[in-house]
Structure 1
Amino acid sequence: MNPEVTEYIEKIDQPWQVEVCNRLRQLILQTVAEVDEVKLYNRPHYKKNEQYLCVFFVAKNG
C-alpha cells in the first residue's frame, strides 16, 4: 500500500467516505493482480500495465 494514498484517505472529513475509500482500496488491491497504486494530481490512481483503472475523487461539502 502506498503511504501517500493512506494519508489522502485519512484526511477525508466524512467518516463514511473514509470507509468507502478503504473498502474500494482493499477490493482493488486484492482482486487486480500487479495493480499500481499511485498518488497523482493529489488523488489516488490505480493503474495496470500503464493503463488507468480508476481514480478516487472525494466530493467535499459546500
Structure 2
Amino acid sequence: MAVEVDRDLCEANGLCAAAAPEVFELDNNDELVIHQPPQGDELARRVAVAVAGCPRYALRVTG
C-alpha cells in the first residue's frame, strides 16, 4: 500500500495528520509529508479514514 497526494488539490488542512500521524505530517511550510509505507491493519484502516476524509480529495491509496 502506498499513499499519494495531489499537491494542486491539497490545502494542508491537517485532517489526515490527525487521523494517522505516523503516516501524514505537515512540515514547517504547511506542505504534506507522507511517510511510506503504512504497516499493519489498524494503521491501514486509519489511512483509509484519512484518505476518505480529505475535504479536497487530494489523497489516494495505490498498490
Same fold (TM over 0.5): no
Greater RCO (CA < 8 Å, at least 6 residues apart): 2
Q: TM-score normalized by structure 2?
A: 0.30
Larger radius of gyration: 1
Structure showing the higher helix proportion among its residues: 1
